[in-house]
Amino acid sequence: MQELHSSPGISNSLSMGFIGLAVVLLLLFVSPTNCCTEQERSSLINFLDGLMPGGTGGLNASWVNGTDCCKWEGVFCSSAGTVTDVLLANRGLQGGISPSLGNLTGLLHLNLSKNSLEGRLPTELVFSRSIAVLDVSFNRLDGHLQEMQSSNPSLPLQILNISSNSFTGQFPSTTWEATKNLVALNASKNSFTGRIPSSICVSAPLLAILDLSYNQFSGSISPRLGTCSVLRILKAGHNNLSGALPKKISNITSLEHLSFPNNGLQGVLDGSHIVKLSNLVTLDLGSTGLSGNIPDSIAQLKRLEKFHLDNNNMSGELPSAISNCTNLRYLTLRNNSFTGDLSKVNFTMLDLRTADFSMNLFTGTIPESIYSCKNLTALRLAYNRFHGQFSARIGNLKSLVFLSLTNNSFSNLTNTLQMLKGCKNLTTLLIGTNFKGETIPQDETIDGFENLQVLTIDACPLVGEIPLWISKLRNLMILDISCNQLTG
């Protein structure tokens, strides 16, 4: 009988084991399960019910009323069971956006982008007391954005992306007075009208990204935009803006991307102001009506990678100092009245990828230094006053895909083709209105254009028989040898 009595050590171990098990069981039955609340579940179901029957993106499979919405597809919760994120981008959703999502009081991130949602954007979402990131871009939303009274307290909204929709009307002005935490605003590709709100950066001092491009904004650009002290990206291209680019924009020394193409601006590129924007990586002022010269001070923009001044009224020579912009990759000067000899610029210093000098008044021969740009993929020299022959070094441009020489006074077609056949990646070669009266080469060794898809040698006028090597261009889709004097 004595053997049946446990020793004190064993007894204590068993007692502790049972106590531990009891505590675990107690916690399982007493602790909350961290499920979402009935209000949150109901709000999400109301959103689902507002979608078209065939446009739910398959959410019906997991969005089942009576179950824990924290486990539903696209829904994420905090450790306490509060819905914090609803991420349903690119799900094929169709229908309207229910205001019920505004009842999710703990919602931080709402992403409904890249769907086919339509109707108005509920004000309950824009003026939410919890949402920090709201993205409804690439949908079919329309109507006006409502104003918000400035007496309302500051909203938590930091990122608002409403781009690529069909919003209309004037851009709200008082709304931004309540968005003091706003960091990024993208309203591009809509149909907003009226002036760009001048106080947007005063109201939102943290604003770093502002994209208002592809709308119908009009009027002059307010100098008050110069108060955007931390702005890094400013885009307002493809609108109906007029007047001069405010000098106070040069106060935004943090700017990395300044883009106002396709507007009705005027004035000159002021070197004393542009030099202050030392952090610029992209400067796009194409099709803005600018006149005057490119200032030498452009050389001080050491970070500049993209420089677009196409379709303006600018003139003068390309300053040799631009060689100091050693990070320059994309240079577009198309359709201006620039003059002079490009040989004054040392392109060896640049790692150009695309260079467009077409439709200007440039003269001289092609600068030898441009053949050092081994990463050049597109070179446009058409409609200028260039002359002479190409250097054999043009074969160094192994990355060249697009070459346009049309309407100049180049000579020696045979040598030109022999040298260019080393550019194995060429798909487009436009060399018409050159080589006046020369004989088209018959040389069968012109066979290196295996990727060529477009070839124009029109209006030269060339003489001789149509050569056999043209038939060897297996990938050719477009051939123009019109307005010549070819036979055979």
Q: Taking residues 325-352, report their average pLDDT.
A: 97
> Which pLDDT value is given to residue 240?
97
Asked if pLDDT for residue 28 goes beyond 70, the answer is no
Cα four-point dihedral sign 392, 393, 395, 401: negative
Amino acid at 310: D
Asked if pLDDT for residue 359 goes beyond 70, the answer is yes
What residues pair up with 449 in beta bridges, in sequence order? none
Strands 75-77 and 83-87: antiparallel
Reported as a single tens digit per residue, the pLDDT across 364-401 is 999 999 999 999 999 999 999 999 999 999 999 999 99
What CATH number does the domain located at 389-488 have? 3.80.10.10
Could you tell me the residue ranges of all domains in the chain?
389-488
Confidence category of residue 151, pLDDT binned at 50, 70, 90: low
Token pair 């990586």 is found at 281
> Which pLDDT value is given to residue 452?
97
Mean pLDDT, the chain, rounded, equals 91
Asked whether 332 and 305 are in contact (CB, 8 A), the reply is: no
Q: What are phi and psi of 249, to 5 degrees?
A: -65, -25
What residues pair up with 76 in beta bridges, in sequence order? 85
Cis status of the peptide bond prior to 461, with omega within 30 of 0: yes
Question: The whole model's pTM is what?
Answer: 0.89
d(CA 195, CA 218): 5
Q: Taking residues 321-347, report their average pLDDT.
A: 97
> Which pLDDT value is given to residue 78?
96
CA angle 361–267–385, rounded 5-degree value: 0
Classify burial at 53, counting beta carbons within 10 Å of its beta carbon; exposed 0-12, middle 13-18, buried 19 or more: exposed
Reported as a single tens digit per residue, the pLDDT across 211-263 is 999 999 999 999 999 999 999 999 999 999 999 999 999 999 999 999 999 99
Asked if pLDDT for residue 23 goes beyond 90, the answer is no
